[in-house]
């Protein structure tokens, strides 16, 4: 096969196909490094910013290598871009046979069995909720009545036509619509070969196709699920592969921590209760239900009564856990906070539910029994979480979640991923700190010598930040801990909005700050969008369409959000995004570093903040024609000794601390507005 340089270089087929093709030295450097890693079974860390063309830089050598490669990313949007745009381009222009397949998590595919059970339950008007008092766990799992019937009718029409079962195909229903939770697949609900729908199952068909594909695109969670399953047996979620590419690799640590931890949320129990009632009633005909026919002579009302008991005991458990959620985000769940009595009462009810499911024939009820047993096991592990795991509890809207997270997943990743995969390429726009990958290597288990050689490559920015971006770091604002900071920050953001005419992301480090800034900025009559008032995708569509809007948000908008063009020309950041020191997982990791003789601030808090800050900065320039201002309102970036490290890690934009410098920069791109000098 041709080399990556021959295919992507200035004289290659890509350049010949496009008259205005732009030669990208960074893309070629990355492609050659990936090519070497694949050929020699090496590990590669590569930081490549927006505009580098990194997807082609790893896809072309991966496909040219002839090896079976898994590409794992954090976002669906990137997965779909690779399969729907980048791979067809490579096939058409470079003549490479790709055989690419997008494999999503089970929750993205229609489960024919659950869909059939819901249809029958709705047609028979069988109650599938009501086993818990209103708001026992939070909002209802799904809307009932006419709304459910209308959504189900849309799903039914689509189900008759779809070849993949991928719910994203049905654009009429948002992926967050409640009906999807009741009809999609999941690790808790799959039955396997005993299912009556197994032959036509979309997930089964997908796995057969994956065996034949040369390039598999998935998300990090699915990749880790596959590695976990293969720990005990050769069978996994994915077929065997020769190499792996982790794009958006800066998220791998958080995903691995979540995956290898335990979490029991109130919504999980509610969904189980809803599915359980349907499993007990949906498998019988309407005539059997009217006659009260049951298996093993049980009373027809027994499941409903028992599920009501499960719901009631779960409500008591989560109410008790909620009293330990004393701060925004995760709170420590100390042993003395564990509600022993409510846990035992719920476990007794769950054990009775398992026995009741065993009395009746059918794969659906067998799967339910296994699902309830897993819930019991997770609760038991939560009750005794110690040592290598740290327990926590968190409020989520109206619900409660409790979990136990591993303090260090590095050894597991080193053993199961990097120690068993031929080649591994880890890439992101924010993987290192000022060209140093030591934080990423340590957190992913590669800070100690491994058998596989490790290479590092930090590419220069592809955009002209020095000419087209300004980093404004005022030093005249109060300290972020001062009571007057929020009012001063709102006034400074308002002045920036007057200068740019809007088109801004205001990125906040907490819900409290987000709400306060949104209220202050909205009082001026501006179009202010706030995270949570609509689904993320809808907010972004409104923001792009408006052109001059202001979006105030927290961490979910700091990364993975792409708004090219003038619609986004200002990014304001309230403070340096240090992790919350009272977060139980942060505290546990800090203690582990101290035991290893390392300074937690220097080796974890500071580099992690630098990476998140660089992600927020990265929202600004998405194309070579973009321009704008990034304002960091936290004076510590200029007044504290560690601020230099943070500034050095950011793109080389023009720097300013005074308002006159900000105005002068803006006049280079747009006519000056009459803006009062901020106080």
Residue 363: what pLDDT?
74
Q: Domain for residue 678, yes or no?
A: no
Domain match, 38 and 128 both: no
Domain match, 294 and 247 both: no
Domain match, 266 and 252 both: no
Domain match, 488 and 608 both: yes
pLDDT under 50: residue ranges of the chain: 127-143, 283-293, 296
Estimate the crossing angle of helix 340-359 against helix 266-282, to 10 degrees: 20
Domain extent for 119: 108-198+261-405
**Token digits of residue 376:** 């019991």
Domain match, 265 and 252 both: no
Domain match, 188 and 236 both: no
Q: Domain for residue 674, yes or no?
A: no
Domain match, 169 and 221 both: no
Domain boundary among 458, 480, 499: 458
538-592 pLDDT tens trace: 899 999 999 999 999 998 899 989 999 999 999 999 999 999 999 999 999 999 9
- For residues 106 and 203, the answer to whether their CB atoms sit within 8 Å is yes
Q: Quote the number of domains for the chain.
A: 3
Residue 284: what pLDDT?
45
180-215 pLDDT tens trace: 888 999 877 787 777 888 889 999 899 899 999 999
Residue 227: what pLDDT?
86
Q: Domain for residue 676, yes or no?
A: no
Domain boundary among 405, 424, 445: 405
Looking up residue 222, the CATH number of its domain turns out to be: 3.40.50.300
Residue 2: what pLDDT?
67
Distance (Å, rounded) from C-alpha 320 to C-alpha 386?
20
Domain match, 82 and 154 both: no
Estimate the crossing angle of helix 266-282 against helix 302-322, to 10 degrees: 180
Distance (Å, rounded) from C-alpha 606 to C-alpha 107?
36
Residue 288: what pLDDT?
39
Q: Domain for residue 38, yes or no?
A: yes
How many Cα atoms sit within 13 Å of 135 on the Cβ side? 2
Share of the chain above pLDDT 70, in %: 92
Domain match, 226 and 267 both: no
Domain match, 281 and 138 both: yes
Residue 134: what pLDDT?
33
Domain match, 528 and 424 both: no
Domain match, 304 and 448 both: no
Residue 143: what pLDDT?
42
**Token digits of residue 515:** 């709400």
What length is written for the chain?
A: 679
Distance (Å, rounded) from C-alpha 610 to C-alpha 327?
24
Give the CA radius of gyration of the chain: 27
């Amino acid at each position: 096969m041709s080399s990556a340089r021959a295919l992507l270089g200035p004289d290659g087929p890509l350049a010949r196909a496009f008259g205005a093709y732009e030669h990208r030295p960074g893309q070629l450097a990355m492609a050659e490094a990936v090519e070497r890693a694949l050929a020699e079974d090496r590990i590669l860390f590569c930081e490549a910013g927006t505009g580098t063309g990194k997807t082609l830089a790893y896809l072309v050598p991966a496909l040219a290598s002839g090896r079976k490669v898994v590409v794992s990313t954090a976002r669906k949007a990137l997965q779909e871009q690779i399969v729907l745009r980048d791979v067809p381009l490579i096939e058409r222009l470079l003549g490479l046979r790709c055989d690419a397949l997008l494999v999503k998590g089970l929750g993205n595919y229609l489960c024919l069995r659950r869909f059939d059970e819901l249809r029958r339950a709705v047609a028979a008007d069988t109650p599938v909720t009501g086993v818990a008092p209103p708001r026992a766990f939070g909002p209802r799992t799904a809307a009932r009545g006419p709304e459910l019937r209308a959504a189900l009718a849309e799903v039914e029409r689509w189900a008759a036509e779809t070849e993949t079962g991928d719910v994203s195909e049905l654009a009429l229903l948002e992926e967050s619509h409640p009906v999807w939770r009741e009809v999609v697949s999941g690790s808790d609900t799959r039955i396997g070969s005993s299912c009556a729908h197994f032959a036509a199952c979309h997930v089964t068909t997908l796995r057969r196709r994956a065996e034949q594909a040369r390039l598999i695109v998935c998300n990090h969670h699915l990749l880790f699920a596959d590695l976990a399953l293969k720990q005990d047996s050769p069978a996994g979620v994915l077929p065997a592969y020769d190499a792996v590419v982790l794009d958006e690799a800066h998220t791998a640590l958080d995903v691995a921590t979540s995956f290898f931890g335990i979490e029991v949320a109130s919504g999980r129990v509610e969904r189980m209760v809803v599915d359980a009632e349907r499993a007990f009633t949906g498998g019988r005909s309407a005539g059997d239900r009217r006659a009260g026919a049951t298996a093993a002579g049980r009373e027809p009302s027994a499941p409903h009564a028992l599920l009501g008991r499960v719901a009631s005991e779960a409500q008591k458990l989560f109410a008790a856990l909620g009293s330990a959620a004393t701060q925004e985000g995760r709170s420590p769940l100390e042993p003395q906070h564990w509600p022993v009595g409510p846990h035992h009462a719920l476990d007794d009810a769950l054990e009775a539910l398992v026995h009741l499911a065993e009395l009746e024939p059918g794969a659906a009820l067998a799967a339910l029994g296994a699902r309830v047993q897993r819930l019991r096991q997770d609760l038991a592990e939560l009750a005794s979480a110690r040592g290598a795991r740290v327990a926590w509890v968190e409020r989520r809207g109206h619900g409660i979640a409790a979990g136990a997270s591993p303090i260090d997943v590095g050894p597991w990743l080193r053993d199961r991923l990097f120690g068993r995969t031929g080649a591994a390429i880890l890439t992101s726009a924010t993987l290192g700190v000022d060209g140093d990958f030591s934080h990423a290597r340590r957190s992913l288990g590669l800070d100690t010598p491994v058998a596989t050689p490790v290479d590092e490559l930090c590419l220069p920015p592809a955009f002209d930040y020095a000419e087209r971006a300004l980093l404004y770091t005022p030093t005249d604002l109060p300290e972020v801990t001062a009571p007057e900071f929020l009012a001063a920050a709102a006034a400074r953001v308002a002045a920036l909005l007057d200068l740019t005419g809007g088109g801004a992301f205001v990125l906040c480090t907490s819900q409290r700050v987000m709400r306060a800034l949104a209220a202050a900025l909205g009082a001026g009559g501006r179009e202010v969008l706030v995270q949570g008032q609509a689904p993320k995708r809808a907010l972004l569509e409104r923001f792009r369409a408006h052109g001059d809007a202001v979006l105030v948000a927290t961490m979910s908008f700091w990364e993975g959000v792409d708004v090219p063009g003038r619609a986004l020309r200002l990014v304001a950041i309230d403070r340096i995004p240090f992790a919350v020191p009272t977060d139980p997982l942060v505290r546990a990791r800090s203690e582990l570093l101290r035991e290893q003789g390392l300074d937690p601030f220097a080796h974890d808090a500071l580099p992690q903040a630098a990476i998140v800050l660089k992600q927020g900065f990265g929202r600004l320039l998405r194309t070579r024609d973009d321009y704008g201002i990034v304002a960091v309102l936290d004076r510590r970036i200029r007044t504290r000794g560690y601020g230099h490290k943070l500034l050095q890690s950011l793109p080389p934009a023009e720097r300013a601390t005074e308002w006159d410098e900000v105005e002068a920069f803006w006049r280079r791109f747009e006519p000056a507005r009459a803006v009062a000098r901020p106080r």
